[in-house]
Amino acid sequence: MSDTDIESVEDFRLRARTWLAENFPRAEGADAFLRRGASEEEELAEIDRARGLQRKLFDGGFAGVCFPREYGGLGLTPDHQRALNEECVGYALPRILQVPTFVPCAAVLLEFGTEEQKQHHIPAILKGEEIWMQFLSEPSGGSDVAGALTTAVRDGDEWVVNGSKIWTTGAWFSDYGLCLLRTNWDVPKHRGLSVFIIKIHQPGIELHRIEMINGSREFCQEFITDLRVPDSDRVGDVDQGWTVGTRWMFHEKNAMGGGSPYVTGALGGNRNRQGAADPMVELAQATGHFDDPRVRDLVGESYMLRAAGSALSERIAAGMRAGVFPDNSAAIARLVNAVVQQRNVTIALDLAGSNAAATLADDPWAEQGFNFLERQTSGIGGGTTEMARNNISERVLGMPREMTHDKNIPFRDVPKGPSGN
């Protein structure tokens, strides 16, 4: 499309504001998904509701703002997506479909998928018909996803997959996984990987749910045995999975840092409209200590962190779009987002005090104790903060790389610890 064919950002904003007010439900409380005490039936109902809301966005002309029109998107700009995100504050958005379905999975398909793969999957994703997860971590791998031991061996037009993936959020209710597999053991580890599309619920995949400290069981481990995957479901070239993987990680960090143009709604940071209630203010008022100078300092610190984190994410995203910042700068926003989240969880615990252990869902301080116990997850999911710091130091600041003992060594000759299966 020419620039004259594109709807102005302001016209798009006003149209979205009107449509949302007339057609979309307001957010009411926490989603059942990831909530302590939610039953499987409640979680499945929440997933079905999210699919329906995504379809409503699609039918209303507000799904896939920056996705190409030939795949069902709107073909508009990141400025249009940001305008929609701002107008969506306070509405019951299908957040669980945004990450990792839209980012990084759909974003990776857009960059590396075949035309057939994009035509088949992207429209279904935009309509809420397909939920995707990423099969990256392994029991023996930690943050080193390039050390994948799950193998894919070619057999004619198919690949035979064996191994295990872990910490796959929501795999039990999802449809497809974007999977990084070992296809060559005779080259250094980064050169022997390939990426595949895997249908999750089929013979050959045994799925186990993992119970977390708060009782939630959204994380899963998959045991894969002699699973046959057609070569037509390969994404990118054989043994070039790390080329796909580096962009995969970029999209993930960009989403976690709040800068992805493919995500609808805010995943974190200070995204409230002016005048909207501040959760920390509400919590401090509920405890009856809002006039305490120390409490007010904590509330102010929380607001400052969220405001600064949001502004930083927007600046980095704009800099990457303009080519001023390298793509690896997404790691900065990802790191700051985790630091802000962890500090805010600690502040909320301080504000709630002894009430942080409350178990009643309607208590304003409910869940603060569990949130504190789980605070480290924001520095693990989406790539650890340690990996983000390495990325920033080496890829953004140009500092010397860490020493490694597996460079230029065939992966089969690299010493490996127990798999942990």
Decide if 80 contacts 72 (C-beta within 8 A).
no
Whether residue 217 sits in one domain with residue 187? yes
What pLDDT is recorded for position 30?
Answer: 55
Of the candidates 38, 70, 106, the residue with the CA atom closest to the CA atom of residue 264: 106
What pLDDT is recorded for position 252?
Answer: 83
Residue 142 lies in a domain: yes
| CA atoms within a 13 Å half-sphere pointing along the CA-CB vector of 135 | 32
Whether residue 119 sits in one domain with residue 90? yes
Whether residue 215 sits in one domain with residue 180? yes
Tell me the C-alpha distance between 137 and 108, whole Å: 17
Span 145-170, average pLDDT: 95
Span 303-329, average pLDDT: 88
Cα Rg for the chain, rounded, in angstroms? 22
Cα distances from 309 to residues 170, 259, 267, in angstroms, run 27, 11, 12
Residue 394 lies in a domain: no
Decide if 180 contacts 141 (C-beta within 8 A).
no
Tell me the C-alpha distance between 157 and 289, whole Å: 67
Whether residue 122 sits in one domain with residue 73? yes
The proportion of the chain whose per-residue pLDDT surpasses 90, expressed as a percent, equals 60
What pLDDT is recorded for position 253?
Answer: 78
Decide if 196 contacts 234 (C-beta within 8 A).
yes
Please give the structure tokens belonging to residue 408. 């230029």
Of the candidates 210, 198, 206, the residue with the CA atom closest to the CA atom of residue 134: 198
221 — phi, psi (to 5°)? -125, 140
Tell me the pLDDT band of 326, cut-offs 50, 70 and 90: confident
Tell me the C-alpha distance between 298 and 305, whole Å: 11
Tell me the pLDDT band of 345, cut-offs 50, 70 and 90: very high
What pLDDT is recorded for position 279?
Answer: 86
Tell me the C-alpha distance between 217 and 233, whole Å: 29
* Tens-digit pLDDT profile for residues 27-77: 876 555 556 667 889 889 999 999 999 999 999 999 999 999 999 999 999
Query: Which DSSP helix (H) or strand (E) runs through 311?
Result: helix 293-322
Residue 60 lies in a domain: yes
Whether 363 has a pLDDT exceeding 90, the answer reads: no
Decide if 169 contacts 381 (C-beta within 8 A).
yes
One DSSP character per residue, 360-387 reads -TTSTTTTHHHHHHTGGGGGTTTS-HHH
Handedness of CA 164, 165, 171, 174 (dihedral sign): negative
Q: Quote the DSSP letter at residue 393.
A: I
Whether residue 143 sits in one domain with residue 106? no
The residue among 377 and 23 whose pLDDT is bigger is 23
Whether residue 144 sits in one domain with residue 120? no
Handedness of CA 266, 271, 274, 275 (dihedral sign): positive
Residue 419 lies in a domain: no
Whether residue 146 sits in one domain with residue 42? no
**What residues have CB less than 8 Å from 318, skipping those under 6 apart?**
none
One DSSP character per residue, 64-98 reads -TTS-GGGTS----HHHHHHHHHHTTTB---GGGI
Q: Quote the DSSP letter at residue 104.
A: I
Whether residue 118 sits in one domain with residue 82? yes
Q: Which of 8-22, 107-121, 236-250, 376-390 has the lowest mean pLDDT?
A: 376-390
What pLDDT is recorded for position 321?
Answer: 82
Whether residue 104 sits in one domain with residue 50? yes
Read off the CATH number of the domain in which 86 is found.
1.10.540.10
Span 323-331, average pLDDT: 87
What pLDDT is recorded for position 38?
Answer: 75
What pLDDT is recorded for position 144?
Answer: 83
Span 6-22, average pLDDT: 96
Domain extent for 305: 268-383
What pLDDT is recorded for position 91?
Answer: 93
Residue 165 lies in a domain: yes
Please give the structure tokens belonging to residue 421. 């299966």
What pLDDT is recorded for position 181?
Answer: 98
Tell me the pLDDT band of 418, cut-offs 50, 70 and 90: low
What pLDDT is recorded for position 183?
Answer: 98
Final residue before a domain boundary, out of 130, 147, 175? 130
Read off the pTM.
Answer: 0.84
Domain count, the chain: 3
Q: What share of the chain is helix, strand, coil (3-state, %, to 5)?
A: 50, 15, 40
Residue 411 lies in a domain: no
Final residue before a domain boundary, out of 130, 152, 187? 130
Q: Quote the DSSP letter at residue 99.
A: I
Residue 231 buriedness (CB in 10 A; 0-12 / 13-18 / 19+):
middle
Give the position of tokens 């045994």.
Answer: 206
Span 399-416, average pLDDT: 85
Whether residue 146 sits in one domain with residue 120? no
Query: Which DSSP helix (H) or strand (E) runs through 194?
Result: strand 193-199
What pLDDT is recorded for position 150?
Answer: 97
What pLDDT is recorded for position 185?
Answer: 96
Whether residue 107 sits in one domain with residue 192? no
What pLDDT is recorded for position 378?
Answer: 82
The residue among 357 and 358 whose pLDDT is bigger is 357
∠ CA(65), CA(71), CA(76), 5° rounding? 25
The residues facing 163 across adjacent strands are: 224
Please give the structure tokens belonging to residue 139. 């029991």
The residue among 236 and 2 whose pLDDT is bigger is 236
Residue 417 lies in a domain: no
Tell me the pLDDT band of 302, cut-offs 50, 70 and 90: very high
What pLDDT is recorded for position 331?
Answer: 87
Average pLDDT value over all residues in the chain: 88
What pLDDT is recorded for position 347?
Answer: 94
* Tens-digit pLDDT profile for residues 226-274: 999 999 999 999 999 999 998 998 888 787 767 789 999 865 443 444 4
Final residue before a domain boundary, out of 242, 257, 277? 242
Residue 97 lies in a domain: yes
Tell me the pLDDT band of 399, cut-offs 50, 70 and 90: very high
| CA atoms within a 13 Å half-sphere pointing along the CA-CB vector of 240 | 9
Whether residue 218 sits in one domain with residue 328? no
* Tens-digit pLDDT profile for residues 104-154: 999 999 999 999 999 999 999 999 999 999 999 999 876 788 899 999 999
* Tens-digit pLDDT profile for residues 65-117: 999 999 999 999 999 999 999 999 889 999 889 999 999 999 999 999 999 99
